[in-house]
Amino acid sequence: MITATSIDVHELTKDYGAVRAADGLTFRVEPGRVTGFLGPNGAGKSTTMRIVLGLDRPDSGTATVGGRPYRAYDEPLRHVGALLDAGAAHGARTARDHLLCLALSNRVPASRVDEVLAESGLASAAKRRVRTFSLGMRQRLGIAAALLGDPPVLMLDEPANGLDPEGIIWIRTLMKRLAGEGRTVLVSSHLMAETALTADHLVVLGRGRLLADMSMNAFIEEHSRPRVRVRTTEPERLRSELTRAGLTTEPDGPDHWAVDGATPEEVGTLAARHGIPLLELADDKASLEQAYLRLTADEAEYTAAVPAGASEAKTANTAKQEV
């Protein structure tokens, strides 16, 4: 159901010359949770966000906020706060003046400017010209601008870009708080570990198409294979019994085996049947990164070449750096 603060993308298609940046995309971003917007380079995330903000026109389909096109809002900053391009601020203006201009044109009280400067950690740099800002400071300013109108909907394109560790914790906490307040939060990221800590729900694109739209837990569950980690006093005997049962094992530390495609119940029962003592038996939960790489393996347009003879593990590492 379209709500007053949902972002609704319907049958969205956008071509740039021969490149189809969005290919019949349909999804809804719901309020009250952080939705991670994932996909390899060039998957269409920024294009979709730009179209939602009316900065680009789709060839077909619609994108609305609260059931209305962004352009239909008189004071859009009070409805949707967005961080798309942190370099967008006018370099000759001070941070405070930049925010003040935005506030005035959206009937946001000037007092909000100092509030968001303080919230984003820029209070002491308020009177500095934006062109003297570091990447992380620009990013903080972009986030401050997104918060200015106290909007119920936030769209942030890679907000952690350039932030220092304190800044990353700040943005993580901020997004969770905003969602906890019932706002709609859509955040694109290539940082899987960070997304795993922040997002409740995921929308994943690949080459302009929707690959997944589901909860974080369901996504990891659906796109990973079960795996068990086991430690025993009789590693060789356990391995031969596991192999006999058709399971693949690989060493995972002293006296440890990782058993692919198996559940703790299967491995525990098998060990008990053969009287093999187990010292540890754990469900080796896949990470978001593993699940994501598995889903998007065939969707990444720009991947580094893998040197001949590289092992699968090396391939995974190369892909990790790509994400």
Give me the residues that bind ligand ATP (CB under 6 A), please: 16, 19, 21, 39, 41-47
Nearest distance from C-beta of residue 199 to ligand ATP, angstroms: 16
Residue nearer to ligand ATP on the CB measure, 42 or 151: 42
Compute CA distances 192 → 100, 121, 181, 291, 321, whole Å: 35, 25, 24, 10, 11
Is residue 205 within 8 A of residue 43, CB to CB? The reply is: yes
Q: How far is the CB of 54 from ligand ATP (least distance, A)?
A: 15
User: Which of 37, 257 has the CB closer to ligand ATP?
Assistant: 37
Tell me the two tokens of residue 36. 């991670």
**E strand spans, 86-216:** 153-157, 184-188, 201-206, 209-215
Of 166 and 301, which CB lies nearer to ligand ATP in the complex structure? 301
> Shortest Cβ distance from residue 38 to ligand ATP (Å)?
9
Cβ nearer to ligand ATP, comparing 190 with 229: 190
Cβ-proximal residues to 263 (8 Å cutoff; 6+ apart), any chain: 226, 228, 283
CA torsion sign, 124 to 129 to 131 to 132?
negative
β-pairing verdict for 248-251 and 256-260? antiparallel
Q: How far is the CB of 2 from ligand ATP (least distance, A)?
A: 24
Strand 153-157 to 227-232 pairing? unpaired
CB of 41 to ligand ATP, least distance (A): 3
Please say which residue, 19 or 135, places its beta carbon nearer to ligand ATP: 19
Say if residues 145 and 98 touch (Cβ distance below 8 Å): yes
Return the SS3 of 204.
strand
Please, what is the minimum distance in Å from the beta carbon of residue 27 to ligand ATP? Answer: 14
Least distance in Å: CB of 255 to ligand ATP? 42
Residue in this structure with the two tokens 């059931």, named with its chain if needed: 67
Residue placing its CB nearer to ligand ATP in the complex, 47 or 249: 47
Say which residue the tokens 């952690």 belong to: 160
- Residues whose CB is less than 8 angstroms from the CB of residue 315 and which lie 6 or more positions away in sequence, other chains included: 306
Q: Which residue type occupies 259?
A: V
User: How many residues in total does the chain contain?
Assistant: 323
Q: Which is nearer to ligand ATP, 38 or 271 (CB)?
A: 38
Least CB distance from residue 156 to ligand ATP, whole Å?
13
Quick one: 39 or 151, whose CB is closer to ligand ATP? 39
Cβ pair 41, 129 in contact under 8 A: no
